[in-house]
Chains A and B, each alone.
Chain A
Amino acid sequence: MSSKVTFSDLVGRIAEETGASKRVIHDLLKETAVVAQEGLLRDGRLSIAGVGIFKLKWRDARPGINPQTGEPMEIPGQNRVHFKPEAALRTFINRKYEHIKPEIIRNDSKPALKSKDSFFWRRRSALGWTAALLAFLLLMLVGVFSLFQQSYQRAPPVGEVAQPEATPRYRIPVEELTEKKEQIQPIPQPDLSPPSAGKPGGVHNIRQGDSFWTIAKAFYADPYLWPNIFRVNVEVVDNPDALEVSTTIHVPPLEGTVGRLSQKDIMNIIDGYMQAYLAYRRLNKTNAPYYLWVAKQYNVPEVLDRYKDKIHASDRDFILRIKGSARIK
């Protein structure tokens, strides 16, 4: 165990810190021991703030052997003092190791354990990243290369076209097209381009883990457009936060694309946000007014007018108090 501080040193330290005399501190600690014993005997438990909880745990009598004579005997039941340091003390003492998390051991076979000690295993995360980076660079190279090739090969057809009657003219573009297709494929576009616009719309069957948010992300590539889906499913969905598994919901298509929405899309989305507001208001959720606020931020009063009677006066006041918001009638 660790090296020790003698009791008198400890008393000295505390006396210095508190400004009380050594005698007082000495008595205090001694008396604490006496009172602690008293408390343990009376209640079986004792808590000291800043230290922890001491508890008596009864250990039942158990058979044993007298080590001197080898005779079987019964070890009588007795109390054991159990100490649990309080949480603050535990975390403080353990702070050096606190950041280390338990690590899952994938394979329990011997070789896996052995390979754990190797350089590559210890550096596996760094190696993984390096490998990913290398693969990415390689893809980029291939992409750039094929682009070059493409522009290089695009030139000859012009020459070919110029050649009279050697090949029928209409076939040349076809060849060019197929060539192009083949060459475009290796370009690592998925790595560079932002997520695609997603599916145009349709029907979705709710599975475990689905939410309007994830569905909007999958279909529109923009989860914030979820009220647009909720809008057309008001009849089947009561609470937009809790979808029932195996419900079929309709996902309306967007006229424009995300980032270039048409006027009708925007009207629909505002309508969606209003529906979300009404649903949350009906469920008495505190986030309801924020949906009203979003709907209003689009600044298309015609849609809001349609819901004029259903907007709560308190919510109207609430969103007016949000800084930087447009005026509402």
Chain B
Amino acid sequence: MNNSELIRRLSERLRLSQREIRRLLKRSTEIFKKTLDEGLSFTIPEFGTFGTHVRQKRKAYNPHRKRFMMLPPKRVVSFHPGSALKGHVKSQRVDNE
């Protein structure tokens, strides 16, 4: 499902115009981004938890060039699906490639 389909479905369910849904979603994702950047995490019920954490620098081996390197630290966004979502999607295998 892509973004436009998501917006269409949401506008059907909430009885709001697609334009309005699009605007609200866009602003929401901006808030998500801001919240994550402040180092805070948040949960969307029935969906999951978003957060950030810092991956420490680490030593890695490049097998092609046969040398070790120190990879820099990295700050990443994490998502943990909530138990409701996990339970729902658990058993049904879908071809998504």
Q: Which residues of A contact B (CB under 8 A)?
A: 1-7, 10, 13-14, 17-18, 20, 24-25, 27-52, 54-56, 58, 76-79, 81, 83, 85, 89-90, 92-94, 96-97, 100-105, 108
Contacts and interface: CB of A to CB of B under 8 A. Distances in A.
Given A25-B24, A39-B1, A44-B94, A51 B29 contact: yes
A48 B3 contact: yes
B28 A97 contact: no
Most chain B beta-carbon contacts within 10 A, residue among A4, A25, A51, A92: A51
B33 A103 contact: no
The SS class assigned to the B binding surface is mixed
A83 B23 CA distance: 23
B85 to A, nearest CB: 6
Contact of B47 (A36, A50, A90): A36
B29 A33 contact: no
A24 B21 CA distance: 10
Most chain A beta-carbon contacts within 10 A, residue among B36, B42, B44: B42
Contact of A100 (B14, B53, B73, B78): B73
Given A4-B41, A33-B47, A100-B73, A10 B31 contact: yes
Contact of A43 (B1, B29, B91): B1
Interface in B59-95: 59-60, 67-79, 81, 85-86, 88-95
A94 B42 contact: no
17 contacts: A1-B51, A5-B41, A5-B42, A13-B31, A17-B27, A27-B14, A28-B10, A28-B14, A32-B6, A35-B6, A38-B1, A52-B77, A58-B93, A79-B93, A100-B72, A100-B73, A102-B71
Given A49-B3, A94-B74, A103-B69, A5 B40 contact: yes
Given A92-B33, A97-B74, A2 B21 contact: no
A39 B54 CA distance: 30
A105 to B, nearest CB: 4
Given A49-B29, A81-B86, A93-B77, 17 more contacts: A7-B42, A7-B44, A10-B35, A17-B27, A28-B25, A29-B44, A33-B44, A34-B13, A37-B46, A37-B47, A47-B2, A49-B25, A50-B29, A90-B77, A94-B75, A97-B73, A102-B71
Contacts of A90: 76-77
Nearest to B93: A58
Q: How large is the interface on B (under 10, 10 to 19, 20 to 34, 35 or more residues)?
A: 35 or more
Contact of B96 (A37, A56, A83): A56
A103 B6 CA distance: 43
Contacts of A7: 42-45
Given A13-B31, A41-B94, A81-B89, A93 B73 contact: no
A48 B92 contact: no
A17 B81 CA distance: 26
Contact of A37 (B59, B60, B74, B85): B85
B10 to A, nearest CB: 6
A5 B35 contact: yes
Contact of A47 (B3, B54, B81): B3
Contacts of A49: 3, 25-26, 29
Contact of A56 (B9, B47, B89): B89
Given A43-B94, A79-B93, A81-B81, A30 B25 contact: no
B46 A2 contact: no
A89 B33 contact: yes
A31 B46 CA distance: 10
Nearest to B37: A93
A201 B24 CA distance: 71
B78 to A, nearest CB: 8
Nearest to A76: B91
